[in-house]
Chains A and B, each alone.
Chain A
Amino acid sequence: MMTETPLLEIQNLGYRYGQRAACVDISFDLFPGEVLAVVGESGSGKTTLLRCISGQLRPDTGQVLFQTRASETVDVWAISESARRWLTRTDWGFVHQNPRDGLRADVSAGANIGERLMAIGARHYGNIREEATAWMNKVELDTARIDESPSAFSGGMQQRLQIARNLVSRPRLVFMDEPTAGLDVSVQARLLDLLRGLACDLGLAAVIVTHDLAVARLLAHRTLVMNAGRVVEAGLTDQVLDDPQHPYTQLLVSSALPA
């Protein structure tokens, strides 16, 4: 088990917006079934890092290596645009902070889920609808509302719909940017519980960006702490939170409410 190869390997990744370095020399790996949290204050480069490793923003330096279902290692930024797009539809999922960025407003909830299946070749309408219904159930959405537009859903419901849309195609790796931000505390707890269960049951690997240390504590095996574009500390989540070594991590932990 300890000799498994990583699913994702980030090597010396760097990205700058003009003069501003947003990610500096970042390296880490992620193994199948592992959940990694990226924490750090606003502006520390978390979203930029997530976009670079999920095929949305080409890094200036470094490599993003991914092991496909066929056990081939691909360099995400060396393959063709269409091969990259295929990865984002099949092996990967991306849950945006704002559900509106991850959902289509002009089609029904059911179609939002079914769309990912069609993108990977599903054609049989009955089967697609059945799968969509099953996933609405899994994320605790009322299946009677399958034909409604997502705009008729509350924020927490939209977030659950976005998760269903992403997971229906059985990705092996999911990227999430602040999946619980902007939700009521009680809605957050329910969503976190759902994510914890799904990650466990499906053996999903995930990279979760969050500023909430309690989210990292609950969901992540390992945690990376970012400060000013750099990873300043990384390790087992409970170790990083209970025995932080870097001054910045100590500040972050001591300023947070008990997690």
Chain B
Amino acid sequence: MKNIIEINNLSKYFILHTQGGVNIPVLEAVSLAASGGECVAIVGSSGAGKSTLLKCLYANYRAQAGSVRVRHRDGWVDMARAHPREILDVRRHTMGYVSQFLRAIPRVPAIDIVMAPLLATGTEPDKARVMAQALFERLNIAPRLWHLPPATFSGGEQQRINIARAFAPQPAVLLLDEPTAALDEANRNAVVELVREALRRGALLVGIFHDHAVRSAVATRIFQLRPAGVPL
């Protein structure tokens, strides 16, 4: 299969100007290529830069060097250099991201949060509602919560809203940062099923899975990250 992402010699460090300009190297010349139908599990010690790598892929963080190319609309977009409008277009149509924490929007009900990415890509409202509800049912979100804003939900409920929102539009690339961290076994299994389904339709998943059982259930490949500055 052809590659969907190609990361080449990606380097990322943080210069903390408020801390006297200290430089924190995180990623050094990281390269990774992956194609549809793969689930790449990023592993590495705490602080190795796993979340940073996903954030560079999503262009939430900037890269200092290297390229982060994503196949989008019959071409390649380098997320490290693309114009903000192009990055937003990639996020809308090609790439979903499950962050570790849901950033709840005040006053917006859970169902609207999950429908929003569907509506943004042209799905009819009635169809979008049915799709959102089906995901809620699979993820065991109680119907009494559907029309409430998630700000007051439990950690696990918020995480499942987050997962539903990212999976709903069936993007070609899904980035998952510890998607099952706050979930019980039944819900972990529901997420495993969603991941497998996405793989079957040819999506690429890149994820961080601390839970060994989940990782071995979904990963088709392990990508080992070593802390910057530590020799192989």
Contact = CB atoms under 8 A, between A and B. Distances in A.
A239 B85 contact: no
Nearest to A258: B103
Interface string A212-256: 000001100110000000000001101100110111001100100
A120 B6 CA distance: 53
B61 A243 contact: yes
B105 A218 contact: yes
Interface in A149-201: 189-190, 192-193, 196
Contacts of A31: 85
A221 B18 contact: no
Nearest to B151: A189
A250 B16 contact: yes
A192 B106 contact: yes
Interface string B64-98: 00000000000000000001111111000000000
Q: How large is the interface on B (under 10, 10 to 19, 20 to 34, 35 or more residues)?
A: 20 to 34
A193 B108 contact: yes
A115 interface: no
Interface string B14-38: 1111100000000000000000000
If over half of A's interface residues share one DSSP class (helix, strand or loop), that class is named, otherwise mixed; here it is helix
If over half of B's interface residues share one DSSP class (helix, strand or loop), that class is named, otherwise mixed; here it is mixed
Interface in A113-137: none
Nearest to B83: A2
Contacts of B210: none
B55 A247 contact: no
A242 B60 contact: yes
Given A222-B84, A242-B55, A1 B89 contact: yes
Nearest to B107: A193
Instruction: Identify the interface centre among A193, A235, A238: most chain B CB within 10 Å of its CB.
Output: A238
Contacts of B17: 246-247, 250-251
Nearest to A254: B18
Interface in A131-150: none
A221 B59 CA distance: 13
A243 to B, nearest CB: 4
Instruction: Identify the interface centre among A1, A2, A189, A236: most chain B CB within 10 Å of its CB.
Output: A236
Contacts of B129: none
